[in-house]
Structure 1
């Protein structure tokens, strides 16, 4: 490494060195006169800063670690005080704790079985750091990276999602009193913090007009279990693409399976279609690469994409959701991506963008509103190009899954393309006329390098017909625990059935990523 970058890294280490601070976070979000006094019981609103501890660094420190949204975290905002008795119809009671390794969150329960999520704006990523390093400067640095998130960004999403035709939550800001006891075991963790309160889509009483026909709600695990179990369940792929393009436009890179709820809509003959409902908009307008150290980090971890007027690395932006994207967008063509991108452009005019950003606290809008508005408008104009990059990312190595029922995969391979058809006798019994075709798509050699088919359960049949000379798209075929068959026709093919553990270990290819509780006993059908 040249001397200059080495010196920069050394200075960055010195700038962030030392022990982890025992009192890193602000004790109370309240600011202004009387902020240290006991809060009167009748107080309805307070003046707060979401995290003023992030804005207490020198310019030297920010050169290395980035300015991020430090001024936003320290900006004043007037927020209502959380009153559990009146926060929702019928009042709220404490439920189960939630959150992952960083979020401070919990579920609150209301009337008619309705559920609400309470999430602190500030995060504590302590558990993401190995125990042996939690007493070092590294914990300070990881905690400081929270300032890359826009704490109030989720407030701007509802009108944009509504116009885009995407179901959405309706978060609102609250302040949790410094003497709050009504949150049960989580009371102490929430005291003195600013949080987002939003209703979950958990019971039918939570339905909004755009979900009026839904007969139930499930999380991603429940949806995937049903879709993998039986062909009568399906995911609304066009609705999912619309939601994912909205994510791309907003720069929301953290859209893994856990960031979705699914509304079940009944169809004819007992079939069910799931429509997506995004949740947890913590990472919209993310800003990380404005310091030397985080800039280097974004080169090593491309999913941490900074929100700018141009999209940058779209493949990195959608990386976190690659599992659900491959399975939820498998039927859609390049033309579908372009058509929905153009539709979103029409649905998101300048006036709507400006109106949505006015939902930010006034002091925050003054700091970031004009910049965010300009970036959103520029990204809207470039959305078709971003959608095309998104499509090509998925088309490079697509994954097509079957179900636990018997299916027949018919693969026609040509030098310039590969066409896949999936037939299901189970599905034929549910359709008028007995149509058994479950899936059909043609993959083009210039776009697709490798195609993976997962048979899952049942006695599946893989028919592979190769026509013409040259090298077709590479195939990776996975069977399930049933008695699967591989039938080859046409030009010579190097495809074989492997069914013992030794052969599976000898195969250098990666295993398919599986959701929780899904069948894991796999026979291996070799790729060429």
Structure 2
């Protein structure tokens, strides 16, 4: 009934504020010489009754409506040499674009407010449900990204440096995107897209690539690999900040040349618009954030409620980027971050919020960060266990040998690369890890490409971990020693030699990034 009533209602016309400016003179044309304004990120989110907020949540409505000072964007002086419009960007919600600077530098301009209409089917975009989806934007703190740079720097994680700007209501210099940005508050930050844009903590990098390009390289050749320790550092910072939207598209990767022709990729986080997310303070969003509906919508508060839900959105890249790290590695990193993030640093970071916003949220967010820092080792362990539950380990497009030893209480996997063995005589081991039955429910191994060999040895009585083997393309072999209990085979060409075991099953689609990128 509720859905029927919602579908029968109309989406509100003129939903968004026409101009972010407030105060005296805000309705008059902006003088050409104006350098700053007072504006709100979105006062339309704060015009609802108490009953409405009980139903859909108070979120950060007061913050969106708070009047803050903001400099007026001037493209000629916003960066050395000025900025020129380049291409539009953003996904289904963000209003963003790329600006070009000198020396090949690029800058991202992102409006604080969002337009999520494209997340709905066309037939629902004129209904009341569009109002509800738009209103959910108020669950994000529009100024949270401003506090992240000093925290990330102290944690040892590369980061951008966003600046708050106001786009003139008569702006013409943004090309085709000018109309969409006019009268809005936005964040301007330099992208990591050229070597000239690198900061000292990334000194020595030989190049920068996006998430899909990095994954394609890692799964094409074993000489390419992710810096897993650095990635864990970045991901635990995400957990601490309550940043749930960290899927594989939210990362840039710096490439570093290593001895023997190897290339190491270090993660650079992008787009911090979901830090300090507040969602479950209304009946409907509380229900929506349950584990069985949308567990990723975790509210930032002093305690960690559901860490598995908080990291859910990034499970694909987490499985690939943290595969070699142990429970002890997670704990050591959490303890290191605790030491790097003292109270004084947190308090200083909160002062980067605009004054009116700090008065509303600064103390509350700072207090929550201090409490979450103290509990970070426990959160790190919960994060580890969520990844250890059903891990997926992938090979590459080259020939590899998977050596698996199964015991009643554990399974040890070693992966040897024939290609690396040719390049580095006698040193072809590229992966080793032991999975424990107390932590892992099911283990998947994927050869991807090449003529792979799976050597599986089962020792002892009892039930070892369920093992799923995916041969992928190439002429693959299975050498089985001992029982084949709880072993399933999947091979695209059904050509895996499987003496002593059942014939291969049908393949599972979109198992790893290499498959996904090359099957399109």
TM-score (norm 1): 0.93
Q: 2 CA distance for matches of 1:517 and 1:112? A: 34
- Which sections of structure 2, spanning at least 5 residues, go unmatched? 496-501
Q: 2 CA distance for matches of 1:138 and 1:264? A: 44
Counterpart in the other structure of 1:3: none
Change (3 A) 1:430 1:368: same
**Does the alignment pair 1:179 with 2:170?**
yes
Q: 2 CA distance for matches of 1:89 and 1:511? A: 44
Counterpart in the other structure of 1:152: 143
- Corresponding residue to 1:333 among 308, 326, 334: 326
Q: 2 CA distance for matches of 1:194 and 1:504? A: 60
Counterpart in the other structure of 1:518: 517
Alignment of 1:309-458 (within 5 A): 309-431=302-424, 433-458=425-450
Counterpart in the other structure of 2:498: none
Counterpart in the other structure of 1:231: 222
Query: 1:428 offset after TM fit, Å?
Result: 2.1
Q: 1 CA distance for matches of 2:96 and 2:514? A: 24
Q: 2 CA distance for matches of 1:462 and 1:105? A: 47
Q: Deviations over 1:288-310 (max 9, x none)?
A: 11011111111121100000111
**Does the alignment pair 1:486 with 2:478?**
yes
- Which sections of structure 1, spanning at least 5 residues, go unmatched? 1-8, 522-528
Q: Deviations over 1:149-204 (max 9, x none)?
A: 00000000000000000000000001000000000000000000000000000011
Query: 1:505 offset after TM fit, Å?
Result: 11
Change (3 A) 1:497 1:281: closer
**Does the alignment pair 1:142 with 2:141?**
no
Q: 1 CA distance for matches of 2:91 and 2:484? A: 50
Aligned-residue Cα RMSD (Å) equals 2.1
Change (3 A) 1:15 1:478: closer
Change (3 A) 1:485 1:368: same
**8 A Cα contact 2:11 2:127, kept in partner:** yes
Alignment of 1:184-223 (within 5 A): 184-223=175-214
Change (3 A) 1:505 1:472: closer
Q: 2 CA distance for matches of 1:358 and 1:284? A: 16
For these two proteins, the number of residue pairs brought into alignment is 511
Query: 1:98 offset after TM fit, Å?
Result: 0.2
**Does the alignment pair 1:271 with 2:262?**
yes
1:241 alignment partner, SS class: helix
Q: Deviations over 1:398-457 (max 9, x none)?
A: 1111111100000000001000000012112333x5311010000001000111111111
Q: 1 CA distance for matches of 2:491 and 2:362? A: 58
Query: 1:520 offset after TM fit, Å?
Result: 4.1
Change (3 A) 1:75 1:495: closer
Counterpart in the other structure of 1:110: 101
**8 A Cα contact 2:489 2:503, kept in partner:** no
2:423 alignment partner, SS class: coil
- Corresponding residue to 2:76 among 76, 85, 94: 85
Q: 2 CA distance for matches of 1:414 and 1:504? A: 23
Query: 1:42 offset after TM fit, Å?
Result: 0.7
Q: 2 CA distance for matches of 1:331 and 1:498? A: 25
Change (3 A) 1:197 1:468: same
Q: 1 CA distance for matches of 2:442 and 2:211? A: 26
Q: Deviations over 1:239-260 (max 9, x none)?
A: 0000000000000000001100
**8 A Cα contact 1:457 1:519, kept in partner:** no
Query: 1:133 offset after TM fit, Å?
Result: 1.0
Q: 1 CA distance for matches of 2:406 and 2:434? A: 10
Change (3 A) 1:460 1:61: same
Counterpart in the other structure of 1:524: none
TM-score (norm 2): 0.95
**8 A Cα contact 2:323 2:393, kept in partner:** yes
Q: 2 CA distance for matches of 1:348 and 1:459? A: 48
Q: Which one is further off, 506-515 or 67-76?
A: 506-515
Q: 1 CA distance for matches of 2:142 and 2:385? A: 32
**8 A Cα contact 1:252 1:283, kept in partner:** yes
Q: Deviations over 1:458-488 (max 9, x none)?
A: 1110110000111101111111211111110
Change (3 A) 1:224 1:491: same
Query: 1:212 offset after TM fit, Å?
Result: 1.1
1:151 alignment partner, SS class: coil
Query: 1:497 offset after TM fit, Å?
Result: 6.1
Q: 2 CA distance for matches of 1:176 and 1:203? A: 26
1:376 alignment partner, SS class: helix
Q: Which one is further off, 479-488 or 323-332?
A: 479-488
Counterpart in the other structure of 1:472: 464
**Does the alignment pair 1:463 with 2:462?**
no
**8 A Cα contact 1:486 1:497, kept in partner:** no
1:116 alignment partner, SS class: strand
Q: Deviations over 1:369-419 (max 9, x none)?
A: 111011000000000000000000000011111111100000000001000
